[in-house]
Chain A
Amino acid sequence: MTPLALAGAAIAVSGATPSERRMVLRVRDPRSVAEIDDRDGALIRDEEDLLAARARRFKTAVFLEGASLPDNADGFEVTVRLGERFDHLGDGDIVGLDPGSLRLRVLYRRASKHNSFLVTERCSHYCLMCSQPPRNVKDGWIIDEIASCIDLLDPATDSVGFTGGEPLLEWRRFIALLAVFRGRLPETAVHVLTNGRAFAAEEVTAAWAALGFQRLTAGIPLYSAVDAVHDYVVQARDAFDDTVLGILRLKDKGQRVEVRVVLHAVTAPRLRETCAWLARNLPFVDHVALMGLENTGFALANQDLLWIDPLDYQADLACGVDMLRAAGVNVSIYNLPLCLLDRSVWDIAVQSISDWKNGYLPECDGCAARRRCAGFFSSGRPRFSRGVNPIAVADLRANLRGHSEITTARDAP
């Protein structure tokens, strides 16, 4: 299990203006592309690609290492050479590239359902299990980079996420970015992962609501119904108060809110109470996601504090889900494989792990549920439950009625 390479370095870049600090590049399949933008680069894997790129007068060429090409492959204004790790790039994907340092980040993958833009690495929280540990760096340029690639995105993109850090630290710039995004991709669902504290201020919520964006959701982590526990998990005093107020303000303005509860040894012991509290106090949120832990980033540093075998909260999770459902709350389970869940909640377990860091174990080869299962994080240092166990076809059929993707292990890829 290894995640897809979404960041790294180019082998070489030539022809780019030295003063150009970062460039945004959309890679194209030169053989099928219709119109060419200045920021398009032909993706060249073989000689046919090369001929097509020349014929279509691409100014930029992106060569993948290992491509079998004739010696005279140059002749483009800008040439980028990438290692084999980036072989997954395809037509319409977008990369951000710093010609000086050769640093490169894949910003958007057209074929993926899990596109997410990192808005900043700065954060007002310092969560014990943060998978994307914050850094106090001057990275205001990132918003500009995202803004500069919005018009390159496929307008048919179904959904996009914005994440951080805390995207609303510079809330005026970020909300302005959302406005541009909405203008270009009005049909695309947007999910913003935020700690929600900014919304405690009325002017922020008002600006957010003024976007008039139907498919905009704020995904807000809330780890406990107890202020001291939530504040401890996020390592910030008064966080609970701001976040709850923020959620209330957003809902008061009719905005979509998802509450995200990450389950680990600090939050799981009061999981039933947390769900009961959500059902009683925030039943009007649009979605509650109860999420397994990604063992990466700070979660690794705090393993001893955070690790709990999901099997040990299985019953509490089922009970919590039952309470939320009884209150009419739309609830899902993220990041947990079916074999670790009570059968009563199989129907709301979602394949939530982003494709580039999603993996399965050798045991999964014999499992009937594999194609319906969230599987595991391949990122960080995965830690596995003692309960991982292939599910039999009959078990799956009996407990997941009406789901079409039930398959035998033989069909599984």
Chain B
Amino acid sequence: MTSFQGPATFAPHAATELQLLPLRFERLGANRFLVANFVGDLLLFNEEELDRTVSLAIAPGDGLYERAFEKLLVTRKKQRSQLQLLALRLRSRMSFLREPTPLHLFVVTLRCEHSCPYCQVSRRSAERDRFDMSEELALRAVDVALSAPPPRIKIEFQGGEPLLNFELVRKIVGAVHERAPARNKTVQFVIASNLALLSDEVLKFCQENDILLSTSLDGPADLHNRNRPRPGGNSHELAVAGIRRAQKVLGRSRVGALMTTTEASLTRVEEIVDEYLSLDLDGIFLRPLSPYGFAIKTKQFERYDGAAWLAFYERGLRYIIEVNKRGRYFPEFYAALLLKRMLSDRPIGYVDLRSPAGIGLGALVYNYDGKVFASDEGRMLAEMGDRTFELGDLQKDGYRSLVLSDKLVGLIGNTLAQCAPQCSSCAYESHCGAEPVYHHATQGDAVGIKPLSEFCARQKGVLQLLFEILDSGGEDAAVLRRWASG
């Protein structure tokens, strides 16, 4: 029998045989570093471990070599498998790019019967002729949307309150049903509505056309009604009634709700979550205010800072995790989205969190007046007089001229997180995205200075929080892992 060789025979002959692979790191504490490999796998090192890894002072048996190799931080120079793993995983993570512009937003009217002080779209209360989309423009928009390459697209009706122009919604859905089969497209519809005007007729139409409803629910009645005033002060009552009816007629999974955090929400996250639980909604999205529209004009946006929101978010997340530990599957959707990116390589092309940015490549917005925008936030800015993200006009443009416009290519090309200052070296880059509209709006520059960016602070805060919970293990981590695989 040939004798067996010891482990040393199979170790790299020398440190010169090793090579460092791309990595990014972030100091979390005095002697605590978060290290990310090229595709965003995260691990913790102390300073000595980080130093030894980057200087390749590691060898099998020391425990550090094993960790660094498993996490694709190092390779032997002639090895191919480590690089192939990184390449295929990166390809998978970025493969949402194979399906440009899956989302199309139709602003069928800017009118709304609510008068929310935080309204980010600057709604109007009157002048049907001026602020409703015309049928002619709507049909042009349908053709543009159906020209987008993916076989499956989503059309979302936005406002204002889209049910104030429900007749146009009907016509658009009808036109899509007529035109989509010839182009081999499957179209999913969503109506984003406050549900105050939800009639049996609308519900029946949604049922017949497999339309999802997405609504706003800010929490318990007093908070919701304070955030979302309407004549009669009954926004909460109508939203709750609408959600219940929609659940009954369309099915539980066919209606979802979003919340917006205002200063008044900050101390009440448990009540907000309870409200969602009592309505048997399938999860919650804890959302900060965005710096657009009335949120700026009424100074709602500046009432709390990133740190205050993060504290709110963490308290909410931990409360939601407890709910899950008691046996109810109830994700916080933003965490779920980030966790999918942290724990898998599925191509999560959430339009607001991509690099290249999701403007145009993720979504197009057809405004009531025929202008086409690269994102929902882009049209919000335009209502404030800033047309930076206006790509063209339905009267003269088609899908190609909009998406291949110099304006869009320039905006996207200049904002890649992979090479933007302070993003390119950020440990969280793989799980984040470029946010050109936000940074343009807040800093007057589409790239922005990240240490001054509340978007950046929020992202880092949430991602670090999720990492810490995962790293602490136990039941809390198990809950997060379930969300990621959901």
Interface residues of A (CB under 8 A from B): 126, 128, 133, 225-229, 231-232, 235, 237-238, 240-241, 244-245, 248, 270, 273-274, 276-277, 280-281, 283, 301-302, 322-323, 326-328
Shortest Cβ distance from B74 into A: residue: A227
Partner of A270, one of B66, B79, B481: B66
Per-residue contact bits, chain B 337-373, to A (CB 8 Å; 1 contact, 0 not): 0000001110000000000000000000000000000
In the bound complex, residues from chain A placing their C-beta under 8 Å from that of B84 are: 244-245, 248
Known: A237-B10, A244-B81. A229 touches B484 (CB 8 A): no
Q: Is A326 touching B484 in the complex (CB atoms < 8 A)? A: yes
Q: Is A229 touching B478 in the complex (CB atoms < 8 A)? A: no
Q: Is B11 touching A228 in the complex (CB atoms < 8 A)? A: yes
Min Cβ gap A302→B in Å is 7
Total A-B Cβ pairs within 8 A: 83
In the bound complex, residues from chain A placing their C-beta under 8 Å from that of B79 are: 227, 238, 241
Q: B80 interface residue, CB < 8 Å from A?
A: yes
Q: Which of B1-9, B209-217, B407-415 contacts A (4 or more CB under 8 A)?
A: B1-9
Please name the 10 residue pairs, one residue from A and one from B, whose CB atoms are nearest each other, closest first.
A244-B81, A228-B60, A231-B10, A225-B70, A232-B10, A326-B481, A241-B79, A232-B7, A226-B66, A241-B81
Interface residues of B (CB under 8 A from A): 1-2, 4-7, 9-12, 41, 60, 65-67, 69-70, 72, 76, 79-81, 84-85, 88-89, 343-345, 478, 481-482, 484-485
Min Cβ gap B417→A in Å is 22
* A interface: dominant SS: helix
In the bound complex, residues from chain B placing their C-beta under 8 Å from that of A133 are: 1
Shortest Cβ distance from B76 into A: residue: A227
Min Cβ gap B471→A in Å is 12
Q: Is A228 touching B12 in the complex (CB atoms < 8 A)? A: yes
Most buried by B among A228, A274, A323: A228
Q: Is A281 touching B89 in the complex (CB atoms < 8 A)? A: yes
Q: Is B7 touching A327 in the complex (CB atoms < 8 A)? A: no
* B interface: dominant SS: helix
Q: List 23 A-B contacts (CB under 8 A).
A: A128-B4, A226-B65, A226-B66, A226-B70, A227-B79, A228-B10, A228-B69, A229-B7, A232-B6, A232-B9, A232-B10, A237-B10, A240-B81, A244-B81, A244-B85, A270-B66, A274-B70, A280-B343, A280-B344, A281-B85, A322-B481, A326-B482, A327-B485
Q: Is A245 touching B65 in the complex (CB atoms < 8 A)? A: no
In the bound complex, residues from chain A placing their C-beta under 8 Å from that of B41 are: 280
In the bound complex, residues from chain B placing their C-beta under 8 Å from that of A232 are: 5-7, 9-10
How far is it, in angstroms, between the C-alpha of A42 and the C-alpha of B58 when the chains are bound?
A: 66
In the bound complex, residues from chain B placing their C-beta under 8 Å from that of A231 are: 10
How far is it, in angstroms, between the C-alpha of A327 and the C-alpha of B80 when the chains are bound?
A: 25
Q: Is A126 touching B7 in the complex (CB atoms < 8 A)? A: no
Partner of B4, one of A228, A245, A302: A302
Shortest Cβ distance from B11 into A: residue: A228
Min Cβ gap B411→A in Å is 33
Partner of A322, one of B5, B85, B478: B478
How far is it, in angstroms, between the C-alpha of A237 and the C-alpha of B79 when the chains are bound?
A: 11
In the bound complex, residues from chain B placing their C-beta under 8 Å from that of A245 are: 80-81, 84
How far is it, in angstroms, between the C-alpha of A133 and the C-alpha of B72 when the chains are bound?
A: 33
Min Cβ gap B425→A in Å is 23
Shortest Cβ distance from A323 into B: residue: B481
Known: A231-B10, A280-B41. A126 touches B4 (CB 8 A): yes
In the bound complex, residues from chain B placing their C-beta under 8 Å from that of A273 are: 66-67, 70
In the bound complex, residues from chain B placing their C-beta under 8 Å from that of A322 are: 478, 481
Known: A232-B9, A235-B4, A326-B484. A277 touches B81 (CB 8 A): no
How far is it, in angstroms, between the C-alpha of A60 and the C-alpha of B478 when the chains are bound?
A: 64
In the bound complex, residues from chain A placing their C-beta under 8 Å from that of B7 are: 228-229, 232
Shortest Cβ distance from A281 into B: residue: B85
Partner of A248, one of B11, B60, B70, B81: B81
Min Cβ gap B395→A in Å is 47
How far is it, in angstroms, between the C-alpha of A149 and the C-alpha of B485 when the chains are bound?
A: 47
Min Cβ gap A236→B in Å is 8
In the bound complex, residues from chain B placing their C-beta under 8 Å from that of A229 are: 7, 60, 66
Min Cβ gap A358→B in Å is 27
Min Cβ gap B299→A in Å is 44
Min Cβ gap A167→B in Å is 21
How far is it, in angstroms, between the C-alpha of A235 and the C-alpha of B10 when the chains are bound?
A: 8
Not counting A245-B84, A277-B70, A281-B85, a sample of 15 additional A-B residue pairs whose C-beta atoms are within 8 angstroms of each other reads A226-B66, A227-B79, A232-B6, A232-B9, A235-B5, A237-B10, A244-B84, A248-B81, A276-B70, A280-B41, A280-B89, A280-B343, A280-B345, A301-B1, A327-B343
In the bound complex, residues from chain B placing their C-beta under 8 Å from that of A128 are: 4
In the bound complex, residues from chain A placing their C-beta under 8 Å from that of B5 are: 232, 235
